[in-house]
């Protein structure tokens, strides 16, 4: 963003020393299993705006009122279990159908939301929706020969259906064209204006409609357009930019460099993973020019008029960001939730969320959100996904091809937030077949087979077969159990805590990797002891056979419980087969192998649930499937 507002003062002096933290610290620190992480110590103190002399001025600046700080509402959110939390996805542009990049943002937020629910944390909401205003939508509607409201209605419905089909458990779906949202934006604008954070100034720069943002020269490249004429494009998206010169309302972003810096210094967990936190600090070290927050209505009519000035339209990013407040009933009831908000966003929109949004909030008298979780992008066979390359992956087709759970598992298991990940069909089939169909499904199938467990019960654990040891050196003379078995049960016992740490650090893929490793170990345990070879007529062998199955089912119960946020349907099927009741599926009460520790096991002797067939069917190789598509 490089505004050329008339007559700027030199940039602010360099900010204080950067609040670095050891790479990866906090991100992976395991947490106690029983509690959803308490919020970081928040920024409740009022921010200090830069002195007026350091702020932008010029012809327009003469008229500016001083920047005063509106009183901040006390947040009603309390720390600890029982506290409220808003998780959010970005709201999606309503100019085209959903693709797997959108889906990935939504699935990450959904997994966090579901995980938190399983922890028995307090009331939670998961918000999503569609971003319906702006030049991009206005132009897309014109190109499609329709009106913006008609286009938005259609595309918004498509997103809602795609998210519901993907089992994204959203509680709120905001459309920025909705009257309640528009009212919230007008109020928010009033708070900015009344606090003196806005002024009118002449503005010019290169505008990228696809990104809905002005770009500085360093983010531009020279290209030729379709007619061979030289043109400038955005380095990031490759879309053409256009020189725009108009009178706009400006937001005093430059005044918020110090407050933003302090916010990050006091909240090193505010942006995760760490490389993105460091990236935001680097942005704050650079010049932070004021931000144009309106467009002339004659050019952009599809948007919310600036309150009190019908010649201007509110900048679409200000409009869109306010969805995180309007969903909470701003300006009336948001204080019951805000700032207990965690935003999941792609790296391309990090600056809007980690710089502009916190600054806008501070200027409106509100604290920044608690946390921002950032992810990278999906490429397709090594290429950026784009309409012009024709390689955009349709989520509906993927659900038809890989099932909803299969595709959710793939994206969350393979997606690494810190770096871009590549998608291709063969990779999905290979991963899902090996980890869900073969390893997990095979284990359930083998350990519940009639031939091995004819009574179809959760069999008993025998302490004499699997005696408790205090250290692993003690395994001598322990009969059938080996040191390997002790190591294996120890790693399953520590799994819930590891998974908790990874969810806390936004490393869901690592949580899934740990689970996959344990599933493999359980298969090895089962294979090693060959329960099918044991003679059920011999009471000693029967005890051992029951113990092997008991341990295996206990492992499966832990995996099923931990996998619920990622593959909800498959986990439900697994837990139902193990006769785990809905109220026994939470994480706060998750125990593993209590009989080993001399505690009673409520499942022992219980009749297993009905056998409803294969847990997860192997996927066919690409090209052999029926696809399910839903187009615009």
Q: Which residues bind ligand MSP (CB under 6 A)?
A: 90-93, 101-102, 104-105, 131, 320-321, 323, 345-346, 348-349, 377-378, 385
| Residue placing its CB nearer to ligand MSP in the complex, 317 or 486 | 317
The two three-digit tokens of residue 29, written as one number: 């620190």
383 sits in which H/E element: strand 383-384
| Residue placing its CB nearer to ligand MSP in the complex, 345 or 398 | 345
| Residue placing its CB nearer to ligand MSP in the complex, 93 or 616 | 93
The two three-digit tokens of residue 491, written as one number: 């790693």
Please tell me the distance from the alpha carbon of residue 147 to that of residue 143, in angstroms, as a whole number. 10
Q: How far is the CB of 102 from ligand MSP (least distance, A)?
A: 4
Q: How far is the CB of 414 from ligand MSP (least distance, A)?
A: 12
Q: How far is the CB of 345 from ligand MSP (least distance, A)?
A: 5
Q: How far is the CB of 88 from ligand MSP (least distance, A)?
A: 8
Q: How far is the CB of 91 from ligand MSP (least distance, A)?
A: 5
| Residue placing its CB nearer to ligand MSP in the complex, 337 or 596 | 337
Secondary structure (H, E, C), 260-327: HHHHHHHCCCCEECHHHHHHHHHHHHCCCCCEECEEECCCCCCCCEECCEEEEEECHHHHHHCHHHHC
Q: How far is the CB of 378 from ligand MSP (least distance, A)?
A: 4
| Residue placing its CB nearer to ligand MSP in the complex, 155 or 587 | 155
Q: How far is the CB of 93 from ligand MSP (least distance, A)?
A: 4
Residues 6+ positions from 30 with CB-CB distance below 8 Å: 497, 498, 500, 501, 504
User: DSSP string covering 90-130, please?
Assistant: PPEETTS---HHHHHHHHHHHHHHHHHHHTT-S-EEEEEEE
The two three-digit tokens of residue 502, written as one number: 């990874």
Q: How far is the CB of 92 from ligand MSP (least distance, A)?
A: 4
| Residue placing its CB nearer to ligand MSP in the complex, 292 or 326 | 326
Task: Give the CA-trace dihedral at 484, 488, 493, 496, to 10 degrees.
Answer: 150
- CA within 13 Å, CB half, 545: 20
Please tell me the distance from the alpha carbon of residue 128 to that of residue 343, in angstroms, as a whole number. 10
| Residue placing its CB nearer to ligand MSP in the complex, 317 or 503 | 317
The two three-digit tokens of residue 467, written as one number: 């005696």
**Could you tell me which of 554, 522, 498, 535 has the C-alpha nearest to residue 28?**
498
| Residue placing its CB nearer to ligand MSP in the complex, 320 or 511 | 320
500 sits in which H/E element: helix 483-504
Please tell me the distance from the alpha carbon of residue 241 to that of residue 243, in angstroms, as a whole number. 7
Q: How far is the CB of 371 from ligand MSP (least distance, A)?
A: 15
| Residue placing its CB nearer to ligand MSP in the complex, 3 or 346 | 346
In this structure, the number of other CB atoms found within 10 A of the CB of residue 35 comes to 15
Please tell me the distance from the alpha carbon of residue 628 to that of residue 406, in angstroms, as a whole number. 15
Q: How far is the CB of 159 from ligand MSP (least distance, A)?
A: 9
Q: How far is the CB of 568 from ligand MSP (least distance, A)?
A: 22
Nearest residue to ligand MSP by CB is: 346
Please tell me the distance from the alpha carbon of residue 306 to that of residue 313, in angstroms, as a whole number. 5
The two three-digit tokens of residue 522, written as one number: 């359980």
β-strand partners of 206: 215, 243
Q: How far is the CB of 420 from ligand MSP (least distance, A)?
A: 8
| Residue placing its CB nearer to ligand MSP in the complex, 84 or 181 | 181
Burial 60-83 (b: 16+ CB within 10 A, else e): bbeebeebebbebeebebeeeeeb
| Residue placing its CB nearer to ligand MSP in the complex, 304 or 349 | 349
| Residue placing its CB nearer to ligand MSP in the complex, 105 or 244 | 105
């Amino acid at each position: 963003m490089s505004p050329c507002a008339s007559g700027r003062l030199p940039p602010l002096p360099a900010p204080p020393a950067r609040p670095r933290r050891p790479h990866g610290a906090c991100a992976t620190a395991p947490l106690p299993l029983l509690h959803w992480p308490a919020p970081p110590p928040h920024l409740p103190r009022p921010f200090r705006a830069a002195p007026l002399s350091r702020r932008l001025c010029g012809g327009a600046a003469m008229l500016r009122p001083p920047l005063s700080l509106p009183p901040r509402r006390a947040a009603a959110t309390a720390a600890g279990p029982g506290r409220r939390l808003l998780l959010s996805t970005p709201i999606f542009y309503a100019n085209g159908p959903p693709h797997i990049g959108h889906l990935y943002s939504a699935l990450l937020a959904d997994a966090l939301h579901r995980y938190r629910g399983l922890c028995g944390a307090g009331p939670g909401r998961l918000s999503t929706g569609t971003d319906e205003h702006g030049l991009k939508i206005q132009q897309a509607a014109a190109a499609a020969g329709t009106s913006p409201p008609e286009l938005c209605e259609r595309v918004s419905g498509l997103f809602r259906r795609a998210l519901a089909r993907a089992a994204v458990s959203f509680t709120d779906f905001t459309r920025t064209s909705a009257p309640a949202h528009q009212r919230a934006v007008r109020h928010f604008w009033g708070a900015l204006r009344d606090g003196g954070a806005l002024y009118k100034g002449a503005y010019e720069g290169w505008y990228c409609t696809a990104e809905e943002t002005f770009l500085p020269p360093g983010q531009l490249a020279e290209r030729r357009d379709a007619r061979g004429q030289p043109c400038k494009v955005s380095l990031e998206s490759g879309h053409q930019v256009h020189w725009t010169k108009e009178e706009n309302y400006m937001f005093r972003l430059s005044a918020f460099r110090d407050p933003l810096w302090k916010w990050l210094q006091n909240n090193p967990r505010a942006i995760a993973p760490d490389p993105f936190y460091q990236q935001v600090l680097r942005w704050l070290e650079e010049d932070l020019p004021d931000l144009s927050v309106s467009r002339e209505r004659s050019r952009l009519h599809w948007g919310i008029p600036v309150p009190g000035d019908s010649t201007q339209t509110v900048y679409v990013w200000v409009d869109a960001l306010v969805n995180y407040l309007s969903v909470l009933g701003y300006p009336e009831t948001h204080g019951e939730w805000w700032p207990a908000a965690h935003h999941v966003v792609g790296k391309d929109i990090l600056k809007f969320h980690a710089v502009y949004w916190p600054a806008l909030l501070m200027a409106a008298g509100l604290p920044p959100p608690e946390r921002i979780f950032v992810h990278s992008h999906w490429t397709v066979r090594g290429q950026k996904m784009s309409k012009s390359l024709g390689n955009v992956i349709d989520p509906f087709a993927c659900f038809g091809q890989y099932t909803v759970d299969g595709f959710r598992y793939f994206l969350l298991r393979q997606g690494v937030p810190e770096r871009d990940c590549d998608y291709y069909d063969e990779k999905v089939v290979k991963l899902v077949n090996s980890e869900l169909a073969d390893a997990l499904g095979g284990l359930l199938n083998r350990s519940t087979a009639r031939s091995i467990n004819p009574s179809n019960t959760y069999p008993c654990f025998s302490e004499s077969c699997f005696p408790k040891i205090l250290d692993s050196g003690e395994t001598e003379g322990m009969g059938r159990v080996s040191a390997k078995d002790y190591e294996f049960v120890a790693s399953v016992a520590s799994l819930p805590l590891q998974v908790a740490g990874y969810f806390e650090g936004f490393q869901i893929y690592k949580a899934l990797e740990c689970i996959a490793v344990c599933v493999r170990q359980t298969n090895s345990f089962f294979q090693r002891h060959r329960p099918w070879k044991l003679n059920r007529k011999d009471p000693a062998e029967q005890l051992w056979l029951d113990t092997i199955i008991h341990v295996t089912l206990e492992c499966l119960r832990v995996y099923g419980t931990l996998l619920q946020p990622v593959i909800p349907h498959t986990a439900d099927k697994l837990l139902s087969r193990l006769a785990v009741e809905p109220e026994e599926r939470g994480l706060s009460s998750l125990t593993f192998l209590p009989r080993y520790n001399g505690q009673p096991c409520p499942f022992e002797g219980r009749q297993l649930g009905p056998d409803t067939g294969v847990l997860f069917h192997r996927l066919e190789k690409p090209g052999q499937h029926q696809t399910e598509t839903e187009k615009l």
